[in-house]
Amino acid sequence: MPITRRQFLAGSTVSLVGLARGRPPAVWLPGRLLQSPTAADKPWYATMRRCGQLNLNERDPLTLDVGSWIDYWASLELNALLLNGGGIVAFYPTDIPYHHKSEFLGSRDLLGELVRAVTERHMRAVARMDCNYAYEDALTAHPEWFERNQDGSPRRHDESPWLFRTCMFGPYFSEQMPAIYREINQRYPVAGFFTNGWPSTGALGVCYCESCQRVFRERVGGVPPADTNATSPLYRKYYDAYMDRVLEVWRQWQGVVTERGRASVYVGNLGGGIRTVKNVRRLGEVAAWFNADHQGRSGDTPIWDCAQQGRVAQAVMDGRTITNVTGSYANSRITWRHVAKPAAEATLWMAQTTASGMVPWFHWLGGAPEDNRWRAVGRDFYRWLAQHEPHFRNRRSIANLAVLYPQRTIAFYKSGEGPGSWRGADRAQTSDYLQGLYYALLDGRFLFDFVHEDALAAETAQRYRALLVPNAAYLDDEHCRRIRDYVGAGGSLLATFETSRYTGWGDARPDFGLADLFGAGAAGETIGPVGNSYMRLEQRHPITAGFEGTALLPGPESRVPIRATGAHAAPLTVVPSYPAFPPEMVFPRTPRTNEPAAVLREVGQSRIAYFPGDVDRSCWRSGSPDLARLLQNTVRWLLGDAPAPVTIAGDGIVEAFAWETEPGYALHVLNYTNPNMTRAFIQRFYPIGAQHVRFAIAPGRRVRAVRALRAGHALTFAQRDTIVEFDIPSVVDYEVVALT
């Protein structure tokens, strides 16, 4: 791509302006991007705080106005913009055989125009690619590139049947896509590559092409199964082979995009919130930048789904870059790609992204929108972020509670109507245990982080006073050992239901793998799900605080019958289920038992609480405030006299994150008090009143100012030793309080 003297001077001028503003300069030159030496200590994406994406369609080259689009994205003060490069459709004059060039491209080089305009406005350009489908001419010439059904037929796209699905195990991924990356990398100064739809964190598919059959013959030892069933030894081997291939391809593509020595990066498409199947910890091993393509919610998904995504990603990235996509269009259960979702919904999604430590990525699809209501939503939020950018440069979370992210249980657990019975969509129920604990923690206004089960380490006990385990039924022996080590180092533990009853692949143990910690062993097969069961209050204990006036609490829907061993407290016992209908039959057949509904132990500095029932899942499914309070009381008992890093007193349902930042500290408070909290979409906000905050800071540190960044004014505060107290007068949607 030839460059004129005028273009060179224009690029140089822009770079000098960027230096004056404290931004890394960028100069357009053929095939490379010159960077300031001052930016060399960190990759560019490590300091990115605002990202956007314009997703083109094949007809856009006919009419796309590059200048007006780049004016809009520049008004958001973006650090990086995603632009369509190629894969399914090339938006530049490609020379790669069977790389389909847009039939509407004509003589344009749309990618080149966009990259030049982006770079001249001092943003980074990232090429958005799609490796998942190709056209019939490629299928005819290279049948080995494509996935096959069991009968040998190629797999067509459901809505665009002229496209055929490519296979990850075939040469399309190891030869064709690298050739496309190299061509774009040689022609344009893109700063990275992103693949739409791959590898994702969802369920594994099974392909019957020759490449996949070879994998099964040589690595798995069988033939591809009809479905992905984790009880099958064949599937278990396939899972490992599949993950190995994902990491192999990821590393290959990262190597290709950095061949020219540029500080480029390959970014995969991840996401899924708490419902993941592919091992996100292993993906985090190769991802320099974790992009969660978690664009919105639909149906009865709770609003905090985005914040949960942030917690999952933080648990595997160890402080490295995380972005999350906000789709500005209406991605509800009925999808409308070309109309905007409500502004309140999009704003709170971006707020959760930011609060949980991710970088927002604002996305629109189509170059000629007829609905432009989304534009102001992104501009307003991003400009506010840019105004206060230093306060979003987080160093560490200051939470003292850890929630175990039990990925194997969520991915493989046999749920539904009891062990061994779930199929298909019933897998969603495997996240209900975590969801119930999560809601109880929000309602109790606790600060907490997620810790991935594979990331448990000695540091966990140093950072967190208590570890909360929501039915991690599938745990390997190594996971159990690390949990024991955590407790042995002085950490406290909450565990529920079938935690450690099975190995990591779901093979039953003769007893809990953590029976010694629980002070209880399994005395029979799991009972339930059944309704109308209860827990009887046998003695007063801190976990039963607030239950004066009743001898019964609602019981969990399912439970493991247990026999307690050793010294323990059992303030709750089981009242077995009895008929709820007809009214004449509603009376307990066994009103009192000696079977514990909770086992509480103190071992050295550690406190251990084990509930043999699914109190967390039952809390989520029922909305029972008694079960939520029981979980909250138990967490407070586990923490004992350990001071809370932050307390927030006031009305409303909120989620809070607290960070140590480059300038000091930041408290993020998200207002979820809304009739659409658990059903899309939020249409307006319902402000909550004053929130009184006690914030613990490092010894010897003095706070000079406390400021509410959304409200835009200083807050009156008082500091006594390490405690800073202040009131947030109101929270509309989201407030960030900066302590400096």
- pTM for this structure? 0.93
Query: Which run of H or E residues covers position 553?
Result: strand 552-554
Q: pLDDT tens digits, residue range 220-235?
A: 998 887 777 888 889 9
User: What mean pLDDT do residues 426-444 have?
Assistant: 89
Determine what percent of the chain is predicted with pLDDT higher than 90. 87
Distance, CA of 487 to CA of 452 (rounded, Å): 17
Residues 241-249 have a mean pLDDT of 97
451 and 463 Cβ atoms separated by less than 8 Å: no
Contact 28, 120 (CB under 8 A): yes
Strands across the sheet containing 713-714: 394-397, 654-661, 665-671, 734-739, 706-708, 713-714
- The answer to whether residues 539 and 551 touch, using CB atoms and an 8 Å cutoff, is no
Tens digits of residue pLDDT in 246-257:
999 999 999 999
- Greatest alpha-carbon span in the chain: 93
> If you average pLDDT over residues 486-510, what whole number do you get?
97
Q: Is the pLDDT of residue 425 over 80?
A: no
Mean pLDDT, residues 332-348 taken together: 93
DSSP H or E run through 241: helix 233-257
- Which two structure tokens, joined as six digits, stand for 674? 């809304």
CA angle 65, 70, 73 (to 5 degrees): 135
Q: Choose the weakest-confidence range: 18-22, 195-199, 496-500, 530-534.
A: 18-22
* Count of CB atoms situated within 10 Å of the CB of 579: 13
For the cut 60, the answer to whether the pLDDT of residue 36 exceeds it is no
pLDDT of residue 40: 55
For 157-216, the three-class secondary structure string (H helix, E strand, C coil) is: CCCCCCEEEECCCCHHHHHHHHHHHHHHHHHCCCCEEEEEEEECCCCCCCCCCHHHHHHH
Q: What is the pLDDT of residue 231?
A: 86
**Which among 643, 672, 636 has a CA at the least distance from the CA of 655?**
672
pLDDT tens, 25-34? 333 333 333 3
Q: How far apart, in whole angstroms, are the C-alpha atoms of residue 430 and residue 474?
A: 11
Q: Quick one: average pLDDT of 715-730?
A: 98
**Is pLDDT above 60 for 419?**
no
The yes-or-no verdict on residue 601 having pLDDT over 70 is yes
The rounded distance, in Å, linking the Cα atoms of 4 and 353 is 41
Q: Which long-range contacts (CB under 8 A, 24 or more apart) does 412-417 make?
A: 412/230, 412/474, 412/505, 412/506, 413/473, 413/474, 413/506, 414/231, 414/506, 417/529
Predicted pLDDT of residue 261: 73
Q: Are 307 and 468 in contact (CB under 8 A)?
A: no
CA distance 594 to 151: 58
Question: What HEC string does 31-83 produce?
Answer: CEEECCHHHCCCCHHHCCCCEEEEECCCCHHHCCCHHHHHHHHHHCCCCEEEE
Over residues 528-532, the mean pLDDT reads 95
- Please indicate whether residue 313 or residue 30 has the higher confidence score (pLDDT): 313
Contact 317, 323 (CB under 8 A): no
Please report the beta strands in 341-389, taking only residues with DSSP state E, as ranges in sequence order. 359-365
Per-residue pLDDT reduced to its tens digit, 109-146: 999 999 999 999 999 999 999 999 999 999 999 999 99
pLDDT attached to residue 568: 86
| The pLDDT value given to residue 123 | 98
H helix count then E strand count, the chain: 19, 35
294 neighbors 306 (Cβ within 8 angstroms): yes
Which stretch of DSSP H or E encloses residue 116?
Answer: helix 110-120
Position 263 confidence tier, pLDDT thresholds 50, 70, 90: confident
Q: Average pLDDT, stretch 303-325? A: 97
pLDDT one-digit tens code per residue, 540-595: 999 999 999 999 999 999 999 999 998 888 899 999 999 999 999 999 999 999 99
| Domains with residue ranges and CATH for the chain | 1-41 (no CATH), 44-130+174-206+245-387 (3.20.20.80), 401-639 (3.40.50.880), 646-739 (2.60.40.1180)
Neighbouring-strand partners of residue 466: 401, 492
pLDDT (mean) for 195-222 = 94
The reported pLDDT for the residue numbered 570 is: 87
Between the CA atoms of 713, 716, 721 and 722, what dihedral angle is there, to the nearest 10 degrees?
A: -40
| 507 Cβ contact partners less than 8 Å away, ≥ 6 residues apart | none
Read off the DSSP letter of residue 502: B
For the segment 188-200, the average pLDDT, to the nearest whole number, is: 96
pLDDT at 282: 97
Question: Mean per-residue pLDDT for 452-469?
Answer: 95
User: Given this model, what pLDDT does residue 224 score?
Assistant: 81
Q: How high is the pLDDT of residue 4?
A: 35
- Name the band, by pLDDT with cuts 50, 70 and 90, for residue 41: confident
pLDDT of residue 567: 80
Lowest-pLDDT range, 255-264, 297-306, 390-399? Answer: 255-264
422 is written with which tokens?
């779930």
pLDDT of residue 332: 83
Interval 88-104 mean pLDDT: 98
